[in-house]
A and B are shown apart, each in its own frame.
Chain A
Amino acid sequence: MSTMATTHRPFRSATAEPLSVRWLLIGFTFAFLIVFLLLPLIVVFVQAFAGGIKAYFAALADPDSLSAIWLTLKTAAIAVLLNTLFGVAAAWLVAKFEFRGKDFLITLIDLPFSVSPVISGMVFVLIFGAQTWLGGWLIDHDIRIIFAQTGLVLATVFVTFPFVARELIPLMQAQGSDEEYAALSLGASGWQTFWLVTLPNIRWGLLYGILLCNARAMGEFGAVSVVSGKIRGASNTMPLHVEVLYQDNKMVAAFAVASLLALLALLTLGLKTFLEWRHGDELAALRGR
């Protein structure tokens, strides 16, 4: 072009920082996130394979480890199922109906997020512990809740209680009820409306909520730690088993089990990022709460 710029000073956009500031911030973000977030993750795998691949798999094949893995999977499955049912019901209630105390109900649903995990586990000890009347009665009838899987499930359900509801409520509120009314007016029953109209509209949000709920359920430590009693091979979940192995100074084994949990975290992050990228417009979490 004959009229090519004779400009000597580069154009400074009114809404951009100088290049030096920009590179400083990008550099800082890289450095901070790599040192502060990525390095701990790398440490887990380096330590896990410190004794070689054989030692790694030997640690995982240990019966106590296998039983911890199995217990974690069972506990998380039950907790996620229950909280998903609850999340869908609560979201339907809040999004489709007007009633007094709705805002208060939403606050109550978020409540477990602001309770320390240790306290979340402790409340079940207060109810079912041996020191209570109920606890004594349960022991007399040989029903175990504390120091058994029921206690682990209860504590996990408490801690992961809000995840699905929290994702679905804003999503269903944003979507409104027009499609449901249309289905009902065409003669669909309530259940048909839910399965054929509502569920397809919320499926990605639901999956997103389940994903986060599951990650927390499998990884919960504080709450299950006080109700478990940490009986190896019986009431030890994976995170608790990590602690037991660590206290026993079995570093390779501790980090080997930890590496499985870290893989779970990576898988969760990957799926989450994929959902945000592919179905971002259908996720309430991205719209800014």
Chain B
Amino acid sequence: MQISIRQLSKSYGSVAALNAIDLDIASGELLALLGPSGSGKTTLLRAIAGLEPINGGRIQFGDIDATELSVQERRVGFVFQHYALFKHMSVLDNITFGLRVRKRKYRPAREEIRRRGEELLKLVQLGGLEARYPNQLSGGQRQRVALARALAIEPRVLLLDEPFGALDAKVRKELRVWLRQLHDETGYTTVFVTHDQEEALELADRVVVMNAGSIEQVDTPEAILRRPATRFVAEFVERDAAGHYTAAHPPHPRTVHERVAHAVRVG
């Protein structure tokens, strides 16, 4: 599903969190939203999902104007940073939740729901763990359950908020490769938020670099590295002498404006 965003604005009081964002996401694309904390990347992701009210602009899912659709109607697969798995439900119940809450008219039969849940579990390589509870899983397993749960509703777009943020370094690398493979297999339009330039540049087809509520550059990883459009982008994706992307912390928010935005988001 192709997504186009036009003049999307969002402010907290007098502080702008998103400044008239224009963005086109191609169908089947894997797009990264990259930026320091407070740059507006998570706000943009949540606005696409319909979790965040906006002050102006439009969001289009293919031919559908999604601007006025509720979260439920948008049918986006959202993977939360800390997964938000339902603690009191088994893995299978978590995954099939989106099918089970449908109106009876649209709800598949019970056996069909179970079959699809098990299929998804196999897809995320967790076959046989359907009866487990979230607290009995490792971090990486939880993340995959969250992904399967989002895929179960056959979403128009897959939105991932810092998908690897809560994992340790080793698992993070493995899951990154796996997510790329899964994306290529399933072909869902996917947007993920990250503050880790290495992650964005290695994984995504295109990278959106954000700063202080505005888009600095949208381009392929190579283009961003070779021809940074602004000084901010250049500094943010700086490479060290050995040719590795700097693993250092992202630059701190520098403008007053951004610091306020940061404080608002954190608070």
Contacts and interface: CB of A to CB of B under 8 A. Distances in A.
Contact of B68 (A7, A13, A14): A7
A117 B53 CA distance: 54
Residue from the set A4, A7, A8 with the largest chain B CB neighbour count within 10 Å? A7
A8 B68 contact: yes
Interface string A1-44: 10111111101111000000000000000000000000000000
Contacts of B55: 1, 3-5
Contacts of A11: 53-54
Nearest to A1: B56
The 3 closest A-B pairs by CB, nearest first: A3-B56, A11-B53, A9-B68
B7 A7 contact: no
Interface residues of B, number: 15
B9 interface: yes
Contacts of A12: 70-71
Interface of A: 1, 3-9, 11-14
Interface string B45-89: 000001101111110000000011011000000000000000000
Contacts of A5: 54-56
Main secondary structure of the interface of A (DSSP, over half): loop
B21 to A, nearest CB: 10
B71 A14 contact: yes
Nearest to A15: B51
A12 B71 CA distance: 8
A7 B58 CA distance: 9
Contact of B9 (A1, A8, A9, A14): A1
A14 B70 CA distance: 8
Contacts of A8: 68
B7 A13 contact: no
A14 B46 CA distance: 11
B153 interface: no
Interface string B32-56: 0000000000000000001101111
A14 B67 contact: no
A14 B67 CA distance: 15
Contacts of B20: 3
A6 B20 CA distance: 14
Given A12-B70, A14-B71, A4 B50 contact: no
29 contacts: A1-B9, A1-B55, A1-B56, A3-B7, A3-B9, A3-B20, A3-B55, A3-B56, A3-B57, A4-B55, A4-B56, A5-B54, A5-B55, A5-B56, A6-B56, A6-B58, A7-B67, A7-B68, A8-B68, A9-B68, A11-B53, A11-B54, A12-B70, A12-B71, A13-B53, A14-B50, A14-B51, A14-B70, A14-B71
A12 B53 CA distance: 8
A4 B56 CA distance: 5
A166 to B, nearest CB: 29
Contacts of A3: 7, 9, 20, 55-57
Nearest to A3: B56
Contacts of B71: 12, 14
A6 B65 CA distance: 12
Contacts of A4: 55-56
A9 B7 CA distance: 18
Nearest to B53: A11
A7 B8 CA distance: 12
Contacts of B51: 14
A13 B68 CA distance: 12
Given A3-B9, A3-B55, 8 more contacts: A1-B55, A3-B20, A4-B55, A5-B56, A7-B67, A11-B53, A13-B53, A14-B51
Contacts of B67: 7
A114 B7 CA distance: 63
